[in-house]
Amino acid sequence: MIGSTLFALASSSFLYLIPPTPIEHHRIRGMMRHYQGHAYLVPFKHFDSPLKHAHLYEDDRLLGPANTPQQEIIDKGAGRFWLYRDEGNYFGSVLMFSSSDNTDPNTNGRKYRIE
């Protein structure tokens, strides 16, 4: 019993040494904070490409339009998003987005990633 538990712990620890795939690197994890209306906010510590060229995916579906004004994301949602640099934010970049059907991305069972 103890041996199998130690083996499980050691194996799962080993997985953290393997670098993430590009998809996993940009996968949105954790709680997405509801902002207003249909808009949710997610801080990003690192984003490799210029912000205006960001693509947001819900599972394998491309969302957009990108670079949508904040009020339009709040009011209309439907996959609109905006990735911007927030100078007052420790993380640097912030993603404001909505799911494709305006459901809560924390509970709709879909995976989100940004490239």
Question: Is 1 inside a domain boundary?
Answer: no
Question: Is 14 inside a domain boundary?
Answer: no
Distance CA 72, CA 97 (A): 10
Question: Is 87 inside a domain boundary?
Answer: yes
Question: Is 15 inside a domain boundary?
Answer: no
Question: Is 78 inside a domain boundary?
Answer: yes
Distance CA 60, CA 41 (A): 20
Question: Is 6 inside a domain boundary?
Answer: no
Q: What is the pLDDT of residues 56-98, one digit of tens each?
A: 999 999 999 999 999 999 999 999 999 888 766 555 788 999 9
* pTM metric for this prediction: 0.74
Residue 1 confidence class, pLDDT cut points 50, 70, 90: low
Q: What is the pLDDT of residues 5-38, one digit of tens each?
A: 444 444 444 434 444 444 455 788 888 999 999 9
pLDDT for 16: 42
**What is the count of structural domains for the chain?**
1
pLDDT for 90: 58
Query: 92 is in which domain, residue-wise?
Result: 22-114
Question: Is 45 inside a domain boundary?
Answer: yes
